A and B are shown apart, each in its own frame.
Chain A
Amino acid sequence: MLFQTPLFFAFFAIFFGLYYLTRKSLRLQNILILIGSYIFYGAWDERFLVLIIASTATDYLAGLGAAGNRITNRQVGTALGYLFVGSLVALAAQWETSGQYFWAVLGLGGILVGIEMLSRRMSDAARRKFYVTSSVVINLSILGVFKYLNFFAESLVALGDTFGIGFNYVTLEIVLPVGISFYTFQTLSYTIDAYRGNLKPTDRFIELAAFVAFFPQLVAGPVERAAHLLPQFDRLRHLNWENIQTGLALFAWGMFKKVVIADNIAPIADQAFTDPSLMTAGQLFAGLLAFTFQIYCDFSGYSDMARGSARMLGFDLMLNFNLPYVSRTPSEFWRRWHISLSSWLRDYLYISLGGNRGGAVSTYRNLSLTMILGGLWHGASWTFVLWGTYHGLLLVIYRIFNIDDWLEGFKNRAMMSRVAINGLLMAIMFGFTLIGWLIFRANDMASLGTYFVGLFGAEGWTDPSIVRVLSYIAPLVLVQIIQFRMRDLEFFWRMPKFIRLNLALAVLYGLLFLPALQTQAFIYFDF
């Protein structure tokens, strides 16, 4: 169910009506969120719900255990009951073809019982460690099977072929469930935070299940932190006109970025990346520029729609994008781009690896490793690994030259020189970002080389596709200049009423009259 489709509007309208009717009962509202979220996710394929249910049941117990609690029989019963009954319901409609997956569910149930029994004899510290490790292993195993198994299997086959060994039997036909990376990381953060003592795990199963499956951010983030989102399920949300208004505006702007900008320039990127050897330098540049803004508008558009719809329901989701293309350095870029994932990687991976506590060389190693794994999070492909490596390298180089520190000291300079230097650094960083997206979007390593070399040609620099891309991104650039200058992403509400009316009409008419002919799925649904 895509946010920008009539189906979602119908779903949300009905959901909102019921949500309003249940506004006085926290429990009912949370149950409604849970059911609504499962319907939303099940619209892709209801069998995928088994994965969310498995993740919820696992982390319900793991969270409690990782915080040092002794798990009660009631808690085990709740988790297993939910796991078995929920999975049966999810598989029921396609039982004949998918009933065998219930064996895996039973297997997981057995593992959870085994973990609980083993943990009984452990000391507090060992039990906490045991639970957090179990959660990481189970969650990453699910992610690994569904997202990475084929990738590594295919790489093994390719390697085997090189040495004349046939490994073809190891490849499997596994479909990637939508948004699996997002909710896996979200549930992991819950258990890890419980282990670290950053939050008190919940004993209320429905609230945790609703937190894991919360539909506005379920399939493409923001990857929420339990410490921020979970408490919002424990208090009555206030439905007020201000939240509805501002949520609607945020949703509309996100949808504009998606359907008017991203989807309209997507064909230019697609054409350029399909076979770069057939394109002129100008067309390749247009394609790269198109993808650079397509991925931003697509992903940040989704985040805005997620935050907007959540806000209408009285929830606050974290900011996920903060004008990333005005970044001056790689570290600033990652503080502005996909903030929820970047901060996740920083808090749970970089810091766990040692962060910057072990001297320069280990800091560089930790940075590189974090970025490589961050690249791999996006998908099972060597181009994503290379993209992560590239960004890791940029972070290391900027750190070697202490550019971030140097910029700190630069704050007191005269305004003109500050503007000039900042502008120069932004342009350089934007250039690096372009190269990053080229690596990210390339179909394979061979076409990456062809594309890169092709960019330096002399032909096609007056190609109309360049003007087309620029004309579609013009409103975005204009809005972002204002956001940047006013230091307010939602400057709309600070504008005089008449300006607001004009901006609202422009967005509304853009949505009505300028959407792309072909509705496109969100890029990050694949990650």
Chain B
Amino acid sequence: MKKFFKISVKWALIGLYALVFGEFFLRAFDPQPMMPRYVTGAPDGIRANIPNSVYRQWTPEVDVEVRINSEGMRADREIPVEKAPDTYRIVILGDSFMMGYEVDLKDSFAWLLEEGLKAEGLKVEVINLAVSGFGTAEELIALKERGLKYKPDLVLMEWHTTDVDDNVRSGLFKMVDGTLQPASSTYLPGVELTDKLMKIPLYEWAISNSHFYSAIRERAAAIIKDILATARGGTAVADDANDAPPAGADTVAGEITDAGVALSHLLVDALAKEAEGAGAAFMVLDVPVRLNRLDYRASGNDLGDGAFARYPYVNPVEAFKAAAAPDKKLYFEEGHRHWTPEGNRIVADLAVRQATEILRGRVPVN
């Protein structure tokens, strides 16, 4: 018994030492981007940002603070459900790009959109319902359960190359005889475990500070995605032709299947219908796929040519190509490859123009 105890203590100490060694090893030779995601489960069955959380994202390129308000939105203020008279409201649905990951709030798309529209003389409030990792299926639920109560005048849906795979993987909806049917009431991947772990102070410290944890999480996520993709008979592919993104990053696209494309079309149409039913306009914003610093392609191409032709569609590809230069980054390259402040600004400028056109002719919904 004594011997067993001694061996256990010895191996526990070795294990602990290995963890500490790993932390120093990575800090010295392969510093990891610290990109924690503070998400939890919400009563509507999908993920939500943890209300009132404050966390830091830092990579070799950035060091930013992410502050979530009591409603789970990235914002520096609380937004009452009651709408002020003569005010337009824009609900944003999207993933980490719309949340403004890797940039300060004031460099984020949502902030720049609101400021740009105000500069156009419009009284506007942007309600940012984006949650990192969301696909269109979750966005549809988020609009119904969280967004419509704000009486939006415009619903802006982000489209990203990860969405087709996310929509299939979530299992929230399925296509039956060409129509969209609910398939599951919840999609909370890993949330239960994360919620438990978040109660442990060391874990909370690790997700924001430990390079070792971050590296293990990235690789585990990549392996899980690979296994899921293999189980579905495909292979997970990176969306960056030259330079694969870090494993597990938001920019890892899954397989684009015909079934996934058809399901995604139905989900987008359902979102548009939901918005229009509430009297709001609907527009789509494309997050282009970066091929290299000079070349980009529209994520919307995944759904076929002219997939979004029937909706107002902001496609920043040409604007990105025009602004591109070998020494200019529109996407970060060492973290999780979100837009830089410059990238956010270009997209926001285009969206401001499109949204101004839509909103000017409308009377605010009340």
Query: Using a CB–CB distance below 8 Å, which chain A residues touch chain B?
Result: 501-502, 505-506, 509-510, 512-514, 517
Known: A501-B14, A501-B17, A514-B30. A509 touches B25 (CB 8 A): yes
Q: Are A505 and B30 in contact (CB under 8 A)?
A: no
Known contacts A509-B26, A512-B219: does B244 contact A502 (CB below 8 Å)? no
For B21, list chain A residues within 8 Å (CB): 502, 505-506, 509
Give the CA-CA distance A510 to B26 in the complex, in Å. 9
Interface membership of B215, Cβ < 8 A: yes
Residues on the A chain within 8 Å of B14, using CB: 501
Contact in complex: B244, A505 (CB < 8 Å): no
Most buried by A among B14, B21, B215, B244: B21
Q: Write the chain B residue with the least CB distance to A518.
A: B244
Which residues of chain B have C-beta atoms less than 8 A from A512's C-beta? 215, 219
Whether B30 pairs with A513 at a CB distance below 8 angstroms is: yes
A517 CA / B247 CA spacing, docked (Å): 10
Interface presence of B18 (CB below 8 A): yes
**In the bound complex, CA of A438 to CA of B67 (Å):** 55
Q: Residues of B contacting A502 with CB < 8 Å?
A: 21
Q: What separation, in Å, do the CA atoms of A512 and B25 have in the docked complex?
A: 11
Q: How many residues of B contact A (CB 8 A)?
A: 12
* Interface membership of B4, Cβ < 8 A: no
Chain B residues with CB below 8 A from A517, complex form: 244
Contacts of B25 in A (CB 8 A): 505-506, 509, 513
Which of chain B's residues has its CB closest to A260's CB? B29
Bound: A506/B26 CA distance, A: 10
User: How many cross-chain pairs have Cβ atoms below 8 Å apart between A and B?
Assistant: 24
> What are 24 A-B pairs with beta-carbon distances under 8 A?
A501-B14, A501-B17, A502-B21, A505-B18, A505-B21, A505-B22, A505-B25, A506-B21, A506-B25, A509-B21, A509-B22, A509-B25, A509-B26, A510-B29, A512-B215, A512-B219, A513-B25, A513-B26, A513-B29, A513-B30, A513-B215, A514-B29, A514-B30, A517-B244
Complex: A514 Cα to B25 Cα, angstroms: 11
CB neighbours (8 Å) of B244 from chain A are: 517
A contact face: mostly helix, strand, loop, or mixed: helix
> Smallest Cβ distance from B245 to chain A, in angstroms?
10
Q: Apart from A502-B21, A513-B25, what are 9 other A-B pairs with CB-CB below 8 Å?
A: A505-B18, A505-B22, A505-B25, A506-B21, A509-B26, A512-B219, A513-B29, A513-B30, A514-B30
Q: How many whole Å from A500's CB to the nearest CB in chain B?
A: 12
Name, among B18, B215, B219, B244, the residue most crowded by chain A CB atoms within 10 Å (CB to CB).
Answer: B18
CB distance from A257 to the nearest CB of B (A): 16
Contacts of A506 in B (CB 8 A): 21, 25
Cβ–Cβ < 8 Å partners of B219 in chain A? 512
Q: Which residue of A lies closest to B211 (CB)?
A: A513
Cα distance, A438 to B22, chains bound together (Å): 38
**CB proximity to A under 8 Å, residues B184-232:** 215, 219
Q: Which of A502, A512, A514 has the most CB of B within 10 A?
A: A512
Distance (whole angstroms) from the CB of B17 to the closest CB of chain A: 7
**Interface mask (B19-31 → A, CB under 8 Å = 1, otherwise 0):** 0011001100110
* Distance (whole angstroms) from the CB of B263 to the closest CB of chain A: 31
Residue of A whose beta carbon sits closest to that of B20? A505
Cα separation A506 to B17 with both chains bound (whole Å) = 12
Chain A contacts for B26, CB-based, 8 A: 509, 513
CB distance from B244 to the nearest CB of A (A): 5
Chain B 1-40 residues near chain A, CB threshold 8 A = 14, 17-18, 21-22, 25-26, 29-30
Of all chain B residues, the one with the shortest Cβ separation from A498 is B17
The interface residues of chain A lying within 8 Å CB-to-CB of B18 are 505
Q: Which residue of B lies closest to A505 (CB)?
A: B21
Q: Shortest distance in angstroms between A507's beta carbon and chain B's nearest beta carbon?
A: 11
List residues 69-125 of chain B with CB under 8 A from any CB of chain A.
none
Give the CA-CA distance A514 to B244 in the complex, in Å.
14
List A contacts of B30 (CB < 8 A). Answer: 513-514
Shortest A473–chain B CB gap in Å is: 14
A517 and B17 CA atoms in complex are apart in Å by 28
- Complex: how many Å from CA A501 to CA B14? 9
In the complex, what distance in Å separates the CA atom of A502 from the CA atom of B25? 10
Chain B contacts for A513, CB-based, 8 A? 25-26, 29-30, 215
A279 to B63, CA, bound (A): 36
Q: How far in angstroms is the closest Cβ of chain B from A516?
A: 11
